[in-house]
């Protein structure tokens, strides 16, 4: 069998795994929020993925990966037609462009779904529609071009973001931050004295199942980014990437639980679940650049960071129901910067991207490039998201009324409940 056949099968499977991660995000956001918003959470996710797919096909893919354009943005391949063509990955390695498109589309929709964490339980439905168009056309694709397109200026500087700690996770988190600031906290989250109230999600089993789905899907996310069984690192390299991914996720889950237990006296399950996700997010940039021991260290740091980050955002009165800012934002920054410390010279050379990290004799060069990626990509995503959402707020409006929020978005936005029997009983 020719290499391209094997590459095509593997990357198609990886694309399906990443798309299926949306099932995990539906359960994660649903379980982390209240029953009265469950149908809304599930429905708007399907709707926005469908819309994002069309926008990314029309312009987003071209802005990201077209060979034309400049170091800031790609120009061309609009309304993309693969026409049974191939892209060359390495010597004797190629991939049908149709499959490459589907794989990249899956990443774009994940970043968009991360952004919805900042909208949870208080946004109208219309802003989801409008922001999906803007994010899928002008925010995510531009950042992807900078780092993942050979013409991008951060790519040229050697930015190391193998599977998207910056491109996918930080970008989505910065959009979520903009939405969180503009929408303000949910009713009842904070008292007049500034103290915070715990607003518990309605189904912890959903959130645990969600994390397991996302964990499995992450092997498509990270290992699939080799773009073939013999791509980006050589034959079988996708197994090494998956190996590092598993170690970091495990370390993140264990350490987050232990930290929460030590600080609060309780082995908090949601914190442990967020620790696993933080480990996965943090290793996403570095899974192909670091040794296994470093993957464990990165996971440990992510588990510690996610606990204190959630406390910090709560203290700053940033109401983040699904911990998107901590799991995808702070852990995404950690993962990006980690390459500046832990990237090995052998793997950097193998991937032909950047240099060795500080701990391997590379000096501060790679760390500076990684920090530049964080500042520029994160800043661009936040500023543009804030501007777009501010305009939406001043025109069609962002937040539902107080009465609608109390009733729940299921009924106020859709006219029905995700749990009709339970909600009917509760109203009797």
Quick: pLDDT tens for 274-298: 999 999 999 999 999 999 999 999 9
Q: Which residues contact 155 (CB under 8 A, 6 or more apart)?
A: 146, 147, 148, 149
Mean per-residue pLDDT for 333-344?
98
pLDDT digits (tens, 9 = 90+) for 406-421: 999 999 999 888 888 6
Give the CA-trace dihedral at 217, 218, 224, 226, to 10 degrees: -170
Q: Which two tokens stand for residue 93?
A: 């390695």
Q: Are 42 and 52 in contact (CB under 8 A)?
A: no
Burial degree of 278 (CB within 10 A; 0-12, 13-18, 19+):
buried
Q: Is the per-residue pLDDT at 404 higher than 70? A: yes
- At 422 the pLDDT is 62
Q: Is the per-residue pLDDT at 90 higher than 60? A: no
- At 424 the pLDDT is 61
Q: Which of 47-56, 229-238, 360-369 has the lowest mean pLDDT?
A: 229-238
Q: Which two tokens stand for residue 106?
A: 């899956």
What length is written for the chain?
A: 428
User: Alpha-carbon distance 341 to 156, whole Å?
Assistant: 20
Mean per-residue pLDDT for 382-396?
98
- At 337 the pLDDT is 98
Mean per-residue pLDDT for 161-176?
98
Q: Is the per-residue pLDDT at 273 higher than 90? A: yes
Q: Is the per-residue pLDDT at 124 higher than 60? A: yes
* Domains of the chain by start residue, with CATH: 3-427 (1.10.3430.10)
- pTM, 2 dp: 0.95
- At 6 the pLDDT is 85
User: Alpha-carbon distance 175 to 115, whole Å?
Assistant: 5
Q: Which of 32-36, 74-78, 90-94, 243-247 has the lowest mean pLDDT?
A: 90-94
Q: Are 124 and 46 in contact (CB under 8 A)?
A: no
Q: Is the per-residue pLDDT at 194 higher than 60? A: yes
Q: Which residues contact 339 (CB under 8 A, 6 or more apart)?
A: 160, 161, 285, 286, 289, 290, 354, 357, 366, 370
Closest CA to 264 of 310, 298, 324, 209: 310
Mean per-residue pLDDT for 149-154?
96
Across the chain, mean pLDDT equals 94
Mean per-residue pLDDT for 365-373?
98
Distances (CA, A) of 164 to 12, 103, 133, 231, 317: 18, 13, 21, 17, 28
């Amino acid at each position: 069998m020719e290499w391209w056949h094997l590459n095509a099968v593997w990357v198609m499977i990886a694309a399906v795994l990443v798309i299926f991660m949306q099932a995990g995000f539906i359960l994660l956001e649903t379980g982390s929020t209240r029953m009265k918003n469950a149908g809304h959470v599930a429905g708007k996710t399907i709707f926005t993925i469908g819309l994002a797919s069309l926008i990314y096909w029309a312009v987003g893919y071209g802005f990201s990966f077209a060979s034309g354009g400049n170091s800031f943005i790609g120009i061309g391949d609009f309304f993309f037609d693969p026409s049974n063509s191939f892209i060359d990955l390495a010597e004797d390695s190629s991939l049908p462009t149709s499959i490459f498109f589907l794989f990249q589309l899956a990443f774009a929709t994940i970043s968009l779904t991360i952004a919805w964490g900042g909208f949870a339980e208080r946004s109208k439905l219309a802003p989801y529609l409008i922001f999906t168009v803007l994010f899928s056309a002008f925010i995510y694709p531009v950042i992807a071009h900078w780092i993942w397109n050979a013409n991008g200026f951060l790519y040229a500087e050697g930015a190391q973001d193998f599977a998207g700690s910056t491109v996918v996770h930080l970008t989505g988190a910065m959009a979520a931050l903009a939405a969180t600031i503009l929408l303000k906290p949910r009713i009842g989250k904070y008292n007049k004295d500034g103290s915070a109230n715990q607003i518990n999600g309605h189904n912890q089993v959903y959130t645990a199942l969600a994390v397991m789905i996302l964990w499995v899907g992450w092997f498509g996310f990270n290992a699939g980014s080799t773009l073939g069984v013999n791509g980006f690192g050589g034959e079988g390299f996708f197994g090494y990437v998956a190996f590092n991914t598993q170690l970091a996720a495990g370390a993140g889950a264990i350490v987050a639980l232990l930290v929460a237990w030590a600080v609060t006296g309780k082995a908090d399950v949601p914190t442990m679940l967020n620790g696993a996700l933080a480990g996965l997010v943090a290793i996403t940039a570095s899974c192909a650049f670091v040794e296994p021991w470093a993957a464990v260290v990165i996971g440990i740091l992510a588990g510690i960071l996610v606990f204190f980050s959630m406390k910090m955002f709560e203290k700053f009165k940033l109401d983040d129901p699904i911990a998107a800012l901590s799991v995808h934002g702070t852990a995404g920054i950690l993962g990006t910067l980690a390459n500046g410390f832990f990237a090995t010279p052998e793997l950097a050379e193998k991937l032909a991207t950047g240099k060795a990290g500080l701990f391997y004799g590379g000096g501060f060069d790679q760390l500076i490039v990684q920090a530049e990626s964080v500042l520029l990509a994160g800043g661009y995503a936040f500023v543009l998201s804030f501007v777009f959402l501010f305009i939406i707020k001043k025109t069609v409006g962002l937040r539902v009324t107080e009465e609608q929020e109390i009733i729940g978005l299921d009924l106020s936005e859709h006219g029905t409940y995700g749990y009709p029997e339970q909600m009917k009983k509760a109203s009797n």
